[in-house]
Amino acid sequence: MKKHSARVAPLSACNSPVLTLTKVEGDERSRESPAPAEAQVQTGVEGSGRVNRCCWKCSVTQLKKFFWGVAMVLGVCSSWSGSTQLAKLTFQKFDAPFTLTWFATNWNFLFFPLYYIGHVFKSAEKQSPKQRYRECCQFFGDNGLTLKAFFTKAAPFGVLWTLTNYLYLHAIKKINTTDVSVLFCCNKAFVFLLSWIVLRDRFMGVRIVAAIFAIAGIVMMTYADGFHSHSVIGIALVVGSASMSALYKVLFKLLLGSAKFGEAALFLSVLGIFNVLFVTCIPVILYFTKVEYWSSFDVIPWGNLCGFSILLLTFNIILNFGIAITYPTLISLGIVLSVPVNAVVDHYTSEIVFNSVRVIAIIIIGLGFLLLLLPEEWDVWLMKILTHLKVRKKEEIPEGNGDIISGLPNKSRRTRPSMSSFTH
């Protein structure tokens, strides 16, 4: 308010013709005396115009962020459901889930180069690749990315990354993609439970309810197919994948904390290097033991493998770096929306039966996932909104009855003189 009044005074003084008119024409002083007030009104109008322009800029920024969020939701949904369906299609010709996991994880090496390209185009202070690399290496410690840091801070996460993707892809071989995608949504509940136990995060009743929904959905999904061996194994595999994903996220927060965009890109590229150096031997062993065997390299559907890898890379890029341009909650919604997309595809391409148990399980798990997206202070925000609505209703009631209430004293004032004159 003080700043506003400081702006008003100079603007009022700028109306000098009005002020000189009141000085020269003394007879008009009484008429023109409201001139400073009028100037203040004009100043108030100009001030409100500035506030409106500021609000307009804020609303435009929020709209841009929202539309970017919609684009990110569509990107996450299409890349995640597309990679799931393409993996299912690939296994019809190339039955090697671990080899597919290894091949797709190698593409993680592209994270840091892609980040540096974005840094060159966007950042005002451009650094050389070596300078940027050294700066991001500080994430691993004061000495940078040493051999010790590689094995203690990167290698365990490389193992968890490989297990998460392998179990997910192996589950696709056993059960339909709809069940796999909806069961993987339970990783959000597992993250909450592990964070509550390991990281001592804040207890939230609504998230406990969401975790119960997730567990109930898993049980109902198992019951939907009648406890057949393939379905039980498939559900166990995808639940294991969700658990590995949750363990990856919680351990990352426990051991490494939070990472900037460049640091996250370097970390994911290091996981790709770890995969090339130390995991390559496993597909070779599986090939010679004929666990994952193919007759010749000409039989391998390279188009499907590259397409799956590109979609998975796109999904991880949006998931890790999309928060720079939109809200994290909107990005998480894309994972839930992939479930109905996979359901529609399965309906036309497979013999899936959407019985009542399966539909209820899908709804329960989806509801639990949405509950986990609520912010920690959602109850405070809800109370503020309800309080605001109550105050607004109380203000509207007196305004509506204002004429009746104001009319009663006037009527009593008119009648009292007549009664006094009558008594006299």
Distance of CA 21 to the CA centre of its chain: 62
pLDDT band at 311 (very low <50, low <70, confident <90, very high): very high
pLDDT band at 380 (very low <50, low <70, confident <90, very high): low
pLDDT at position 227: 67
Q: Is 257 left (phi over 0), alpha (psi -120 to 50) or beta?
A: left
pLDDT at position 407: 46
Residue with tokens 């004032």: 413
pLDDT at position 70: 86
Q: Is residue 8, in this structure, part of any structural domain at all?
A: no
Take residue 306 and report the two structure tokens written for it: 């590259």
* CB of 164 closer than 8 Å to CB of 248: yes
Residue 169 has pLDDT above 80, yes or no: yes
Q: Is residue 48, in this structure, part of any structural domain at all?
A: no
The amino acid that residue 367 corresponds to is: L
Percentage with pLDDT > 90 across the chain: 37
Q: Is residue 22, in this structure, part of any structural domain at all?
A: no
Q: Is residue 150, in this structure, part of any structural domain at all?
A: yes
Take residue 291 and report the two structure tokens written for it: 């666990």
Q: Note down the domain range covering 342.
A: 73-291+301-382
Q: Is residue 109, in this structure, part of any structural domain at all?
A: yes
Total domains present in the chain? 1
pLDDT (tens digit, 9 = 90+) per residue, 61-116? 778 777 888 888 899 999 999 999 999 999 988 999 999 999 999 999 999 999 99
The whole-number average pLDDT for the span 138-164 is 92
Q: Greatest CA span in the chain, whole angstroms?
A: 123
Q: How far apart are CA 124 and CA 122, in angstroms?
A: 7
Take residue 281 and report the two structure tokens written for it: 């031997």
Residue with tokens 């007879």: 27
Q: Is residue 91, in this structure, part of any structural domain at all?
A: yes
Residue 239 has pLDDT above 90, yes or no: yes
Residue 404 has pLDDT above 50, yes or no: no
pLDDT band at 327 (very low <50, low <70, confident <90, very high): confident
- Tell me phi and psi for residue 364, to 5 degrees: -65, -45
Distance of CA 55 to the CA centre of its chain: 24
pLDDT at position 166: 97
The amino acid that residue 30 corresponds to is: S
Q: Is residue 99, in this structure, part of any structural domain at all?
A: yes
Residue 217's alpha-carbon distances to 210, 308, 359, 367, in angstroms, are: 10, 28, 10, 10
> 5-9, 335-339, 409-413 — which is least confidently predicted?
5-9
pLDDT (tens digit, 9 = 90+) per residue, 268-283? 999 999 999 999 999 9
pLDDT (tens digit, 9 = 90+) per residue, 294-303? 878 888 899 9
Using the CB atoms, write b or e for 51-90: b if 16+ within 10 Å: eeeeeeeeeeeeeeeeebbeebbebbbbbbbbbbbbbbeb
Q: Is residue 420, in this structure, part of any structural domain at all?
A: no
Q: How far apart are CA 20 and CA 18, in angstroms?
A: 6
Take residue 200 and report the two structure tokens written for it: 């001592």
